[in-house]
Amino acid sequence: MIPIITIEGPTASGKSAFSLELASYFGTQIISADSRQVYRYMDIGTAKVSKEAREIIPHHLVDIINPDESFNAGLFAQKAAIAIRSLHESGKIPIICGGTGLYIRSLLDGLFAIPALPAELRENLKQQFVELGRDAMFAKLQQLDADFAAVISSFDTQRVLRGLEVAIGTGIPLSEHWRRQQKHQEYKVFKILLNPAREILYHRINSRLTEMLNEGLIQEINSLLSRGYLSTSPGLNSLGYKEFMPYFMEQKPLQDCANMAAQHHRNYAKRQCTWYRKCIFDLTFTNNQINLSELAVFVNAKLND
What is the pLDDT at residue 113?
A: 65
Q: Are residues 16 and 131 in the same domain?
A: no
What is the pLDDT at residue 147?
A: 86
Q: Are residues 155 and 261 in the same domain?
A: no
Q: Are residues 124 and 6 in the same domain?
A: no
What is the pLDDT at residue 90?
A: 97
Long-range contacts of 235-238 (CB under 8 A, 24+ apart): 235/36, 235/39, 235/42, 235/66, 235/67, 235/68, 236/67, 237/155, 237/157, 238/35, 238/36, 238/153, 238/155, 238/156
**Backbone angles phi and psi of 59, in degrees to 5:** -115, 135
Is the Cα torsion angle 277, 23, 183, 181 positive or negative in sign?
A: positive
Q: Are residues 253 and 292 in the same domain?
A: yes
**DSSP for residue 4:** E
pLDDT by residue for the chain (305 residues), tens digit each? 899 999 999 999 999 999 999 999 999 999 999 999 999 999 999 999 999 999 999 999 999 999 999 998 889 999 999 999 999 999 999 999 999 998 998 899 876 667 778 888 988 998 998 889 888 999 999 999 998 888 787 878 888 998 999 999 988 888 888 777 655 578 999 999 999 999 999 999 999 999 999 999 999 999 999 999 999 999 999 999 999 999 999 999 999 999 999 999 999 999 999 889 888 999 999 987 788 999 999 999 998 87
CATH number at residue 255: 3.40.50.300
Q: Which of 179, 196, 218 delimits the end of a domain?
A: 179
Kindly give the interhelix angle for 73-89 and 101-109, rounded to the nearest 10 degrees.
Answer: 60
Strand partners of residue 188: 3
Q: Are residues 185 and 105 in the same domain?
A: yes
User: 244 is in which domain, residue-wise?
Assistant: 2-112+181-303
CATH number at residue 165: 1.10.20.140
DSSP for 87-117, please give it: HHHTT---EEE-S-HHHHHHHHH--------
What is the pLDDT at residue 184?
A: 59
What is the pLDDT at residue 133?
A: 87
Q: Are residues 62 and 16 in the same domain?
A: yes
Gap between the Cα atoms of 240 and 258, Å rounded: 9
Q: Are residues 76 and 152 in the same domain?
A: no
What is the pLDDT at residue 110?
A: 77
What is the pLDDT at residue 158?
A: 80
**DSSP for residue 156:** -
Q: Are residues 192 and 173 in the same domain?
A: no
Q: Which of 155, 179, 203 delimits the end of a domain?
A: 179
Instruction: Look at the chain and report how many structural domains it folds into.
Output: 2
Other residues' Cβ atoms within 10 Å of the Cβ of residue 279: 12
Q: Are residues 276 and 143 in the same domain?
A: no
User: pTM for the whole thing?
Assistant: 0.82
Q: Are residues 214 and 238 in the same domain?
A: yes
What is the pLDDT at residue 82?
A: 96
Average pLDDT, the chain: 92
